[in-house]
Structure 1
Amino acid sequence: MLNPVELTGSDFSPEKGQVIVAEHNHRYTRAIYTEQHQWFADEAKQIGGDDYGPSPYEMLMAALGACTSMTVRMYANRKEWPLDDIRVTLSHRRDNRDGQVVDIFERMIQVAGDLTDEQRQRLLDIANKCPVHKTLTGTIDIQTQLR
């Protein structure tokens, strides 16, 4: 099992709210660091990676799925609804629509518990209000600098 390379120095110490992605090898393996966590991203072996971690799109789907599940749980807990379990399954594909490439994320939310139809519908509405969903469906401005 690989361990992310220890980064030292102020240039490599992520502050709260920052993510640092460092090259781990000269293929696709990347070490990812936040203030308190470390993990790898990679690509599958069949496209030249080492498969040491999830791909960037898998992490994007994981972010959406985790945020969805957390948001639904937070709402159900506040309302004291009998939500026993939440599972979010996601997939991604690209489609060509009228000459435009469209990214399609399919999200299946499974909930277990003695919920009414109205509660289930409200949880679906709440799922679409998770912060990551709002970011992905809103206007995004990525500002990039090269040093």
Structure 2
Amino acid sequence: MKYIMEKPVKAIIGEQKYKTSIHWRNGEFITDEPEKIEGKDLGPDPHTLLLSSLVACTAATLRMYIDHKKLNIPEITVEANLGQRINSRTGEITTRIDKSISFGDTEVDDKLKQRRIEISGSCPISKILKGNVTIETPDDQ
């Protein structure tokens, strides 16, 4: 298997409740949990990071398409939120992400309105979230 990242993303957490340092190829940022669950809200929580990946990837994919087609659309806004429902009978959790896309004050035709849905679904993060994901954690570490 060929990895997408040159180096793994690394998280380091100390004793300060939930404050986590995330290290990536060019730097570091802080994540945390909201105060309502005893964090200090010093950075985005894991759900926010997941949705941030999706909206950033969607926006970039749409920007590539719009630039390629030489369309005059100066601004793209992508919003997403996540909800979960637990089946009371089976205990199974169903997750749903609602996503909206707008082009600021720019009027777009119906064809592009429909195409944005197809294009946004082709961003790599959308494909990962919709696909078959396996998470491996070797037990020999």
Q: TM-score with structure 2 length normalisation?
A: 0.86
The answer to which of 112-121 and 37-46 deviates more is 112-121
1:89 shift after superposition? 1.2
The equivalent residue for 1:107 is 99
Could you list the per-position Cα deviations for residues 14-52 of structure 1 after superposition, in whole angstroms to 9, with x for gaps in the alignment? x73421111143411100011102111110112011111
The equivalent residue for 2:79 is 89
Distance, in Å, in 1 between the alignment partners of 2:59 and 2:7 is 21
Q: TM-score with structure 1 length normalisation?
A: 0.83
Describe the SS at the equivalent of 1:33.
strand
Residue 116 of structure 1 pairs with residue 106 of structure 2: no
Could you list the per-position Cα deviations for residues 64-90 of structure 1 after superposition, in whole angstroms to 9, with x for gaps in the alignment? 000000000101100111222111111
The equivalent residue for 2:124 is 131
Query: Sequence identity, in percent?
Result: 26
> Is the 8 Å Cα contact of residues 72 and 126 (structure 1) preserved in structure 2?
yes
Letter in 1 for 2:63: R
Distance, in Å, in 2 between the alignment partners of 1:120 and 1:91 is 20
1:120 shift after superposition? 2.0
Match for 2:18 among 25, 28, 43? Answer: 28
Change (3 A) 1:115 1:35: same
Describe the SS at the equivalent of 1:81.
coil
Distance, in Å, in 1 between the alignment partners of 2:19 and 2:82 is 21
Describe the SS at the equivalent of 1:84.
coil
The equivalent residue for 1:48 is 38
The answer to which of 132-141 and 87-96 deviates more is 87-96
Describe the SS at the equivalent of 1:135.
helix
Alpha-carbon RMSD: 1.6
Could you list the per-position Cα deviations for residues 93-147 of structure 1 after superposition, in whole angstroms to 9, with x for gaps in the alignment? 1113463210111111112324221122112210011000000000001111252
Aligned length: 133
Residue 145 of structure 1 pairs with residue 138 of structure 2: yes
